[in-house]
Amino acid sequence: AVDPLDQRGSIVVTWDILNWYQGDGYVASVKIENQQLYRHIEARPGWSFGWEWSKEEVIWEVQGAQAIDQGDCARVEEENSPHSCHPRPVMIDLQPEAPGTLQTANCCRGGVLSSAVQDPSTSIASFVMKVGLARRPPDVPLSFSIPGYSCSTPTNVTSSLIPDGQHGRRAYMTWQSSCTYKLRRTSSCCVSFSSFYNPDVVPCKDCACDCSQKPKAGERLTDDGFQTPGIATALNLHKQAPFQCSKDMCPIKIHWHVKNNYKGYWRSKVSILNRHLQNYTHWNLVVQHPNFKQLKEVFSFNSTRLPIHGGTFADDTNMFWGIRSYNDMLLEAGENGVVQSEMLFQKDPSLFSLSKGWAFPHKVLFNGEECVLPAPDSYPGLPNAARQSLLHSPFLLLLLLLV
């Protein structure tokens, strides 16, 4: 399904054949470019990219990545064993401390692949490999795959221009595939609401993130109330880390508080609570609200309006993320597992209202996952007494319009 907030968003994989060697092999450069506005891949689990060889190709050497399984290399009659002989290799990123001889451009970030808006400088990953037992012309690799994405069949496109000193040269051949995000059936985050004018807090919906994950009878919890994963979960890089159990069973909770109402402005506060036993290294938050066109200041978060299809900007959609070396990492569950910011809005008299939930967001996404909002009829409302006397009591009106 096309994401209405990012209609052209995808991860584009480009496979370039740079040169030939030893008659039956070639050097390939693989570039993984995240062109999504806000979806990205965190250090955990980190990006991984797989494919299926058309014949019996092997990977002799690789820079900028590593195969997770060497496979069976008994069929290769060479003194030195290939890096991977697996018919369906899967590559993952190297860590920043990898030896320089194994590094290449746009590698070695521990699997981080940032979004195009949040950090363009780390939105591309690449690796270079020597492929052996290949034919000329080479066979197209099949079934490109990135976990959580659906990739198109690799197709031959115009050869890439490869930088080469002061001039460029064309790759011998270039294949390309576009991978689009597959929406999850269950959410991983929820939203709660509160306000200065109503003492009631609207909690996340019960079972907002799938109560089937709740511990079963006899299943052990840690002392802190975390569900302990099984062996299969612990060994799978793409399974969730354990998280605190709650009525909503959401690893991430977003809280939106309408904090102040001034004469010409109003203020809200947003908090992101991490219940996971893992850090979020490049978290982001996307929010839709009808007053973002009049957003004047954001405290302690980076913020930008998101472009929509056609290159224009959506007046009601903003993206937020942390400030580098301050709160760009959302720490694991515990005392420090929360980040917060306040937002100051200028009032538009034709729009502003404290009734019918207008001051609360219409849509919230954390790290590209849409969060479950409270039911519309549960939003904090003006107290009954205020509803009756607001138009007749200058004192109550003054309370709501504090300067």
Mean pLDDT of the chain: 86
pLDDT band at 14, cuts 50/70/90?
A: very high
Q: Provide the number of structural domains found in the chain.
A: 2
CATH number at residue 285: 2.60.40.290
371-384 pLDDT, tens digit per residue, is: 999 999 999 988 76
Q: Indicate whether 222 and 283 sit together in one domain.
A: yes
pLDDT of amino acid 240: 57
Q: Indicate whether 250 and 342 sit together in one domain.
A: yes
Domain end, chosen from 164, 181, 198, is at 181
Backbone angle region of 106, left / alpha / beta, with phi > 0 → left and psi within -120 to 50 → alpha: left
Q: Is the pTM of this model over 0.75?
A: yes
Q: Indicate whether 132 and 176 sit together in one domain.
A: yes
313-344 pLDDT, tens digit per residue, is: 567 899 999 999 999 999 988 889 999 999 99
What is the Cα–Cα distance from 345 to 157, expressed in whole angstroms? 47
What is the Cα–Cα distance from 368 to 373, expressed in whole angstroms? 15
pLDDT of amino acid 283: 95
Asked whether the beta carbons of 124 and 32 are under 8 A apart, the reply is: yes
pLDDT of amino acid 172: 93
| Triad 307, 312, 313: Cα angle to 5° | 50
114-138 pLDDT, tens digit per residue, is: 999 999 999 999 999 999 999 888 8
Q: Indicate whether 126 and 158 sit together in one domain.
A: yes
| Triad 44, 48, 49: Cα angle to 5° | 165
Asked whether the beta carbons of 334 and 328 are under 8 A apart, the reply is: no
Higher pLDDT, 233 or 185: 185
Q: Indicate whether 221 and 176 sit together in one domain.
A: no
Q: Indicate whether 323 and 210 sit together in one domain.
A: yes
2 within a domain of the structure (yes/no): no
pLDDT of amino acid 314: 67
Tokens of 91: 């590559």
Whether omega before 137 lies within 30 degrees of 0, making that bond cis, reads: yes
Of 295, 258, 264, nearest to 401 (Cα)? 264
pLDDT band at 268, cuts 50/70/90?
A: very high
Residue 296 structural domain: 189-400
pLDDT band at 310, cuts 50/70/90?
A: low
Whether the pLDDT of residue 195 is over 90: the answer is yes
172-186 pLDDT, tens digit per residue, is: 999 999 999 998 888
Of 330, 326, 354, 238, nearest to 281 (Cα)? 330
Q: Indicate whether 296 and 175 sit together in one domain.
A: no
236-261 pLDDT, tens digit per residue, is: 444 556 767 889 999 999 999 999 99
Whether the pLDDT of residue 386 is over 70: the answer is no
Q: Indicate whether 264 and 387 sit together in one domain.
A: yes
Min mean pLDDT across 14-23, 42-51, 308-317, 391-400 is at 391-400
86-114 pLDDT, tens digit per residue, is: 999 999 999 999 999 999 999 999 999 99
Domain end, chosen from 165, 181, 197, is at 181
Q: Indicate whether 279 and 146 sit together in one domain.
A: no
pLDDT band at 228, cuts 50/70/90?
A: very low
pLDDT of amino acid 311: 54
Domain end, chosen from 181, 197, 226, is at 181
Q: Indicate whether 165 and 200 sit together in one domain.
A: no
User: In whole angstroms, how far apart are CA 337 and each of 83, 143, 188, 280, 346?
Assistant: 40, 39, 16, 10, 31
Averaged over 30-50, what is the pLDDT? 95
Q: Indicate whether 218 and 70 sit together in one domain.
A: no
